[in-house]
Structure 1
Amino acid sequence: MAGVDEVEVVVAHHERATLRVGDVFLKVDGDQARLDVEVAAMGMVPIPTAEVLWRKPSVLALASLPGVALGRPGQPSTASSAAWVAAGAAVRMLHDGPLPPWPGRSLEETVVELDGECEWLMTNGVLPVDLVTRNRRVAEAALRPWTPVFTHGDLQVAHVFVDGDEVTGVLDWSEAGRGDGLFDLATLTLGHPEHLGDVITGYGADVDLEVIRAWWSLRSLLGVRWLVEHGFDPTAPGGEVDVLRTQAMN
């Protein structure tokens, strides 16, 4: 039928789905609290986000952002070094802004979750014991007190849009909250370590590289079971298992 936009499934799993219909993105989420956080965060942050077009129970409609994603997990980024620098500057602007009124995950909660995931990975034979234990040791550097900032919480490259060398917007704020700013930097560069220098240049502050690498291991250890249980492959090239293997060799 002429004039009818096709429906594109951007991502879909057991918890939520994102659909694209023309220039509109529809986020369907069974957890109303996540949508509440997303809308509240987008209204507070000092960096560009997608425009909220309308909202109904379990569904959020967002306008599309100009430009393209900074990159895709497991694929080389075609964005310029200047675009990565701009992404780092946007993250710094976010972290320098006011804290959200709701809390984020605490250090204690992170430690408990990490230990539980490591035990599950080894007990179920999902990953070699040596690979898990080596990365658990690397992750230890991230498990230190931090000064909380406004963090995105899931700042993977596919959530940052750029047009040329400028950031046009950041998507998916459902995990936003108070947290360690270096976690955002690590998430942004997970699987793209060659752009860490550009991001730090844009961020414009001293960054502990050992902690960044620790978060790479920690996030990957936490992510494997979720990916498996939601129908994704953590062993895909450039994915979490590849990151863990690289980390274990350093």
Structure 2
Amino acid sequence: MEVEVVVAHSQRATLRVGDVFLKIDADQARTDIEVEVMAVAPIPTPEILWRNPPVLALAALPGTALGHLGEPSTASSAAWAAAGAAVRALHDAPLPPWPGRDLDELGSHLARECEWLIANDVLPAEVVTRNRRLAETALRPWTPVFVHGDLQVDHVFVAGDQVTGVVDWSEGARGDALFDLATLTLGHPEHLGDVIAGYGTDVDLELIRAWWSLRCLSNVRWLVEHGYGPPEKYPEVAVLRSRHPSP
């Protein structure tokens, strides 16, 4: 039986051994929240097999990931719509006790990341400035809902046209519904309509696009500092550049 390294960096690592995922996290408070959130989430989550800090053992979900950032998704439009319906079920659930990040915290973080990107010549200033202007429109008052908080396309598993479960709940909290929808569709704008159809209500698409810019601007430095290669290879950078077309 082989050991597959799913993700590994200085903060945490996830290994797959057969049908078991072993999550090793230096921050036990983060794991505590993940366990508690999975217990109350109204959509399928991985079965907890055992916990022996700093290790959390989870059963593998059936099916495959809905997609991967930076790669075309092979999942059907119906599967993407089913993901949208699952997100709606989560957002309609009672609010969890965890408050999530507030507007001031998000705004301060965005400002620091933009300044770092320009100071370190990671991206042209005009690309950063354009995307920051877009991102700031997402930072407005919202009615909080139960959000996953890190709903990357890799975290949603499907079999055929059905969602079999969602993984990685350590960011579960109260937050903006559009942030989850934006995170899910980041890098896959061709499936935004499918997700919204499954979600079942009209949403502000420009605000979703604003969250795309904010999430990308906020993630690039972390990727650089954790050894994910040259920034020009990041899907997040491709998204940011696409949002500042050449004249």
The normalised TM-score by structure 1 is 0.96
* Structural RMSD (CA): 1.0
Amino acid at match of 1:235: E
Partner Cα separation in structure 2 for residue 169 and residue 249 of structure 1: 37
Partner Cα separation in structure 2 for residue 117 and residue 176 of structure 1: 23
Give yes or no for contact 1:29–1:59 (8 Å, CA) kept in 2: yes
The CA deviation at 1:236 is 2.2
Give the counterpart of 2:177 among 181, 199, 213: 181
Length, aligned pairs only = 245
Structure 2 residue 143 is matched with structure 1 residue 109: no
Amino acid at match of 1:142: A
Partner Cα separation in structure 2 for residue 63 and residue 90 of structure 1: 20
Give the counterpart of 2:41 among 33, 38, 45: 45
Give yes or no for contact 2:67–2:75 (8 Å, CA) kept in 1: yes
Amino acid at match of 1:230: H
**2:233 maps to which residue?**
236
**1:81 maps to which residue?**
77
Partner Cα separation in structure 2 for residue 70 and residue 80 of structure 1: 9
Give yes or no for contact 1:74–1:236 (8 Å, CA) kept in 2: no
Describe the SS at the equivalent of 1:185. Answer: helix
Give yes or no for contact 1:25–1:62 (8 Å, CA) kept in 2: yes
Structure 2 residue 21 is matched with structure 1 residue 25: yes
Amino acid at match of 2:133: R
Describe the SS at the equivalent of 2:196. Answer: helix
Amino acid at match of 1:203: Y
Structure 2 residue 100 is matched with structure 1 residue 135: no
**1:168 maps to which residue?**
164
Partner Cα separation in structure 2 for residue 149 and residue 235 of structure 1: 35
Write the deviation string for residues 38-59 of structure 1: whole angstroms up to 9, x where unpaired: 1001000100000000011111
The CA deviation at 1:215 is 0.2
Structure 2 residue 226 is matched with structure 1 residue 223: no
Amino acid at match of 2:2: E
**1:34 maps to which residue?**
30
Give yes or no for contact 1:19–1:25 (8 Å, CA) kept in 2: yes
**1:196 maps to which residue?**
192
Write the deviation string for residues 11-59 of structure 1: whole angstroms up to 9, x where unpaired: 1111100000110000000000110111001000100000000011111
Partner Cα separation in structure 1 for residue 101 and residue 172 of structure 2: 10
The CA deviation at 1:147 is 0.7
Q: Which structure 1 residue ranges, 5 or more long, are not aligned?
A: none
Partner Cα separation in structure 1 for residue 89 and residue 82 of structure 2: 11
Structure 2 residue 4 is matched with structure 1 residue 8: yes
Partner Cα separation in structure 2 for residue 36 and residue 150 of structure 1: 17
Write the deviation string for residues 95-119 of structure 1: whole angstroms up to 9, x where unpaired: 0001111110001100000001101
Amino acid at match of 1:236: K
Describe the SS at the equivalent of 2:174. Answer: strand
Describe the SS at the equivalent of 1:162. Answer: strand
The CA deviation at 1:127 is 1.1
Partner Cα separation in structure 1 for residue 67 and residue 186 of structure 2: 11
Q: Which structure 2 residue ranges, 5 or more long, are not aligned?
A: none
**2:245 maps to which residue?**
249
Give yes or no for contact 2:107–2:136 (8 Å, CA) kept in 1: no
Partner Cα separation in structure 1 for residue 74 and residue 166 of structure 2: 18
Partner Cα separation in structure 1 for residue 45 and residue 225 of structure 2: 30
Give yes or no for contact 2:187–2:239 (8 Å, CA) kept in 1: yes
Partner Cα separation in structure 1 for residue 243 and residue 151 of structure 2: 20
Describe the SS at the equivalent of 2:233. Answer: coil
